[in-house]
A and B are shown apart, each in its own frame.
Chain A
Amino acid sequence: MTCENAIEFLPWLLNGTLGEEEGGEVRRHLETCESCRQALAETREAWRLFDQHVPTAALVAYAWGDTPAGLDTELLERHLESCPQCAAELEMARTSRGLEGDDKIALFPGKPSRELSRERREPRVWRAAALAAGLAGVVAAGGWINSARQVDSLLAENPPSAVATPSTPTTSSRPADDGALRERLAELEKEKQQLEAEQAALAAQAAESRDKLALLIREASPQPQISWSNELYSQGDVVRGPGAENDLTAPAGEPLNLFLQPEDGAKEYPRYEIEILGAGRKAVWGGQGARLSDKGDFSLLIPAGFLPKGEYEIRVYGSNGGKRAERVGAYGLRIE
């Protein structure tokens, strides 16, 4: 391995994505090359630099309106402007702080599923907003029912004949009681309206905060904005051509996030090779060095427009010592 190659590999050696074979070569080279060890030290320094964020304690202090100790506030604010990760974290801390002083805001206990990142995320925001609106409606209805019950209890304490209804005013024999009841009813009505207004404002505030937070999280997330994702299961032999029914049809012009499930009982390899075959089973793309995720599948990101409309076959092979071994999966995919 040359110094040039070794230096190019250093960042990936540090982030742990370099394969055993390549990693071993780089390590062996480092043992004998002083200049590359120096480059490794510089790469570590760059790593430290680019992984620099506002310390958690300072971020929490700032969220609570304090001046963070030992950190220039202007520097912190400039960093927040250019670092979506820190900005998102600050927003979460501020949201938490907002909950500290206000027990009226109801929290939704919903737990994000493990598969969240694989699904479309947009509808979830709307689902949450709809849930908030629904809850506000339920709480408002509860307040109305409660008010109605209070009126009922007042009515129970007083004979119905003594109560004047708005539509049918009567000549009550107990005008003093009647007046007091009307007054009490008006108070309750006013109270109910105030509560409803407060609930609506709080629900709107919660929905707005949630949307803002979701937006910031999406911006800060290292995951791409995936517009279409799905799982593909190995088909053994993929049949193509007129009349063939592939498992999956994906939209053209959108980035695709595919999770390829290996065949049942497939032998595990240290690395894998993936290739995409187009018309006439001609390879249109190939890549080596893939690894199984901790969920036991392969994640394949295909940029928008990379695959034109047509039928494709994706094949995954085990790779041993850089050589292609057996096939562990074959998947049909139609782009329309």
Chain B
Amino acid sequence: MMTEDQEVVTRFLKGETDAVGTVDGWISRAAWPYQRRLAERWDDVLQDVRLEVTRLLGQGKFRGESSLRTYLWRVVSHTCLDQIRALSKWQWTDLEVLEQTDGAAGPARPAAASHEDRDLLMRVLERVSQDCRELWRLLVAGHSYREMSLRLGVAEGTLRVRVLRCREKATALRKELGERLPAGRNVTVKRSPNTSRKANTNDL
């Protein structure tokens, strides 16, 4: 027997106006807290969310483990947060170009890693000073020497040295903590697979 939620899904996929209206209303409401951060991307993101919801429901990803409303609410939150994170990233093109040209080991982008890897990185991160984290946060956000210098009130030359020291410290900490992990939990840093937003929301 078809539950009420499943019925809404079926009607939504058929394009029935009232079901589409209900789902769209939930999407708008669930996405509202993210509106300010998404600024001018808001309309595009809302459209992305609608497409994502249609895709997931069409593929039968909703299995009734929670109510449809809760399921959609979480999908919307997931998609909006992914978009906010993507907006804060800087130009990755250079990274990819470098990856192709220099052939050096290491991931082209800091994307999703294995649980163990992520666990280790987060443990290393909490041991790094807040100053280093702030410095690298600005770097990751794509700020130049000059902007960072103006913002932090520190000379550019000093900044370069600090960035280098922070990197060395983080590398040493990572090595130290990595060696402490028990056998079988060694961390292997490898190029992450294509981790698109859609792949992530499939887990929901």
A→B interface (CB under 8 Å): 7-8, 11-17, 23, 27, 30-31, 37-38, 40-53, 55-57, 59-60, 63-64, 70-72, 75, 78-79, 82, 85, 89, 92-93, 95-97, 99-100, 107, 111-112, 114, 116, 213-214, 217, 222, 224, 287, 289-290, 301-303
Contacts and interface: CB of A to CB of B under 8 A. Distances in A.
Contact of A16 (B28, B82, B94): B94
- Main secondary structure, interface of B, reads helix
A107 B32 contact: yes
The 5 A-B residue pairs whose C-beta atoms are closest, nearest first, are A16-B91, A50-B136, A48-B110, A95-B33, A70-B115
23 contacts: A14-B95, A16-B94, A17-B145, A41-B105, A45-B189, A46-B166, A46-B171, A49-B125, A51-B110, A57-B203, A60-B77, A63-B77, A75-B123, A89-B84, A89-B85, A92-B77, A93-B33, A96-B30, A96-B34, A112-B42, A213-B33, A213-B36, A222-B143
A79 B137 contact: no
Contact of B81 (A42, A72, A93, A287): A93
Contacts of A27: 98, 101-102
Given A16-B93, A56-B81, A75-B119, 7 more contacts: A44-B95, A50-B132, A57-B203, A64-B74, A79-B122, A111-B35, A289-B144
A50 B33 CA distance: 26
A96 B70 CA distance: 11
A55 B81 CA distance: 10
A52 B104 contact: no
Contacts of B171: 42, 45-46
A23 B98 CA distance: 11
B85 A75 contact: no
Interface stretch (B7-15, B54-62, B147-155): B147-155
B19 interface: no
A222 B106 CA distance: 27
B39 A49 contact: no
A40 B112 CA distance: 20
Contact of B140 (A47, A95, A302): A47
B160 interface: yes
B145 A12 contact: yes
A99 B124 CA distance: 36
Contacts of A48: 107, 110, 113, 121, 189
A289 B156 CA distance: 13
B98 A57 contact: no
A50 B146 contact: no
